[in-house]
Amino acid sequence: MVLLALTAVVLVSCLATDGVQIPGSVVDLSEESRAETTEGIFLENDSVEAEIEAAEVGEVIEELDADPEQPMLAVYEPRILEEPLPEVNDRVDEVTAAFPIPNSCSPSIEEASLTCSNGTVNLSSTVIDSNGEFVPAEISADPEEIFLTSPITEDLAFPLVFTIYLAESESPELLDTAEETLAWMISEDQGPGLSQEELDAEEDELTEEAEAMGYTENKDAIGPTEAQPAVRAVAYLTEGTPTTAVPASTGRPRKVTIPSNYRYCPNTCKPKARHDYCTSPALNFWSTTRGIADFRGPCARHDMMIANTAKKKISLSTKKTQRRQGDLQFRANLQQNCRNGFYKLDQAGSKASCFAASGGYYAAVAYTTSRWNGK
């Protein structure tokens, strides 16, 4: 499965209430502007030095730009705001989250963008509450940091998740899809998730179609599972990291597993991307200091869906429609395994990180589907 590389560096994108995107404000580099944006509550990444975070994001931008077949989409590790303390709530009217500017990039005079060594990179200004609703946000910058500022109102559902997705300027739809997916995952976190019966039914359907299409013929031996080394898979989370980034689930959802007839044979099967779980440089696992989410099951099922659809004697339009439906199932499966891997109360911050990364993965998949030739 072809996915994009995401660095574990801090998450959330920009949009508004009711799904209407808020245009980013023109970047103001003045010291006066920076002073104004830092009034009220100020959030930053206390778990890793800003220089390291800037280097990580910059490296991912350069790696993806060097691969013409992959969309350039990166994401910061999320900043989390717990509900303001009662004694200060009456005088806190806004919150600002800070993100270091990636290496080889600088603020642009264009709205919500950076000028990087590879060209213009667009930014989201994503702020989402615990109900999965977008919160209005203004984006600004100085020579060293990007700032997301949102008002504090009585009707907000805390905690709030702040993040920034970064995408190539030629594909603005990547930002919209990524942050909308993150919002959906947060909004569905309190639901029951997929039942074992639903997961079994999906696997049965994939297996029946695969057998009919010859996918399982001459099945190779299953090789060892591998986590892709090209991606930093460990988020910077320490004991001091907020533990209620996303409301804790009421129970542990079932894990989306690898279908028994899935062919893992990246060295001998073609196309390789349909036989290697999550294609490098994407992740087979999303791991933090608090746990791990296994993405091999969702990726394997998505691989089989694409392979089955490609072999059908139907029009390209119908193939794309069926693949989009399979993409939505992939989105649900990613969310399910984030919840399965990080279901405890003290793992909630890691779950938010997993959701943010998954939003990027789904955006890359949707991007690829829209350009698919049906083969």
pLDDT in tens, 31-68: 444 434 435 899 998 878 999 999 999 999 998 888 88
**The whole model's pTM is what?**
0.81
Compute how many other C-beta atoms are within 10 angstroms of the C-beta atom of residue 31: 9
**Is 73 within 8 Å of 65 (Cβ atoms)?**
no
- Position 87: which residue type? E
Least Cα distance to 83 among 41, 48, 46 occurs for: 41
Percentage of residues of the chain with pLDDT beyond 90: 59
Could you report the per-residue pLDDT of 235-256, keeping only the tens digit for each? Answer: 333 333 333 334 444 578 999 9
Residue with tokens 């992740």: 283
Please give the biggest Cα pair distance in the chain: 69
Give the whole-number percent of the chain exceeding pLDDT 70. 77
Nearest to 164 by CA among 182, 190, 186: 182
Helix boundaries (H) for the chain: 31-37, 50-65, 86-89, 173-187, 196-213, 296-310, 316-341, 348-370
Placement of tokens 């830092």 in the chain? 38
Residue 184's pLDDT band, with cuts at 50, 70 and 90, is: very high
